[in-house]
Structure 1
Amino acid sequence: MLDANECDKDKAWRKVGAVFANPDIHGDEDSTDPVTVALDWSDDAGVTWQTTAIRTLAATATDARQFTLDADIASDVAVSRWIMLRARWNSVSTWAPVLTGLWAEFEVLDAPARRRRWQLTVAAHDQVVRRDGGEMSRSGRQLIADLCLAWKEGTNLSFRDIDYDAEPTERRVRIVGIKEEVARPSDAGEVGDAMIQVTLVEV
C-alpha cells in the first residue's frame, strides 16, 4: 500500500507502473511458453481491483529480461489517501519475469500541479432561481448542508464554469475550502440564508 509519505492527504493517482528486470531468465530461457503479466490497482484497501495493464510474452522475446508495465489513470477515477498495486502472473510453468519494482505518480489535491482552481461564492437561501429560470428544489439550509458534507467527505462533484454556454466542458472537482458568512455570526449553522465561499480544485 502506497501513501507517498503523505498519509493524511487525499491524492489523485495519475499513473501506475511495474518494472520487471533480471540479468538471467528465471527458468528456461529458450521457452516459447507465453506468460501473461498484469498490473492492478485498488484505492479501497483491496476490496475492488482495477486491471490497468497486461502483457503476454515468451522467454525468447527481445525484452523478456527487462520491461515495464505502466498505464495512465483517468482524471478522477482513483482519488484516495492510499493506493495498492498488485502484479499477477499467468502460465509460469517454464519461466517467469522477475518483478523488481512498483511505482505510482500522483498529485496532492490541496496543492495540485497545473490543475484548475476556482474560488466562488454560493448564495444559499430558499427559492433560489437557477440559470434556466427554474426554482431550485433544495432549501437554503439543505444547500448549505450538502456543500459542507461534500467538503467533509471529499466527494467528487460535477462542475460547470460560468462560461459553460461558450465552452460546454463539465469538469470533476472537489471542495478543498469552505466558509459560511451570515448576517449575524450567532446564526451560523442555524439559518438557511448565508453566503458560502468555496474553493474548488479539479481532480
Structure 2
Amino acid sequence: MAIVLDTLIIDGQLSGARFGFAPALSVTSWLVIAVYALESHRLELPSVRRLLTLLAAITVGLAWVYPGRPYPLVNQSNWLPLHWLLGFASYGLFGAALLHAALLRHAERQMRANSGASGQIPAPVRGQALGMPLLRLERLTLKFVSAGFAMLTLTLALGFWLTTPWHWDHKSVFSVLAWGVFATLLVGRARFGWRGRQAVGWLIAGSTLLLLGYVGSRFVLEVILQRGTH
C-alpha cells in the first residue's frame, strides 16, 4: 500500500507516477522481500528476516520524507511505464542476487566453522547451505544475475529508443557501466568458471554502479542540491 501511495498520482488531475531515489529503494526492497518470502520455507533465517524488515521500514520512511518527482503521462510515450517497470525489476533482481550471494558467503563460513579443528565437515552439513545444496544456491544467485541483466538490457534499449536525442547524463553513464560489469561477470562465469569471491566481487561492483545510476543521481538532486522534486 505504501508503494502504491508513493508512486501513483492519485490526488491530481493528470494521470502519471511519482518517482525518486526513495520510492526506487522502496520498490527494490519489496521485490527482495518478495523473493525471500517465496523461499522462506527453505531459508528460514530470523537474522535475515529482521534485516529485511528493518530495510523495508527505512525505505518506506525515506519514501514518505522524499516522495520524488511527479511524471504526468500527458505528451509522454505509452512505453514509458514499461521502461520504469523494467528498471525497477532489474534493481529487484540484482538485489535478490546480492541477498543470495550474502547467504552463500554466510553458509561457506558456517561450514568452515563446523569443520572444527579437524578440518572435516560433518556429513549432515557437507554440501549443504542453510538447508539447500551449495551448488543450487550458487546457481540461484547466477539466475538472478542473468534475469537482472536481461531486464537491465531491455531498460537501456527502451530508454535509448524513447530519448531523442540521446544524452549521456550520470544515470546513463553509471547504468551502462553497470551493464558492462554484469556482462563481464556472465561471460567470465560461462567461459572461465568464475565463482566464489571473484564472482561476488563483480556482482557487488555492478550493483554499486547501478545504484549510483538512478538512486545516486536522484539522491544528489533531491537531498543534496534539493532540486528535481517538482
For normalisation by structure 2, the TM-score amounts to 0.22
Structure that is richer in helix per residue: 2
CA radius of gyration, larger in:
1
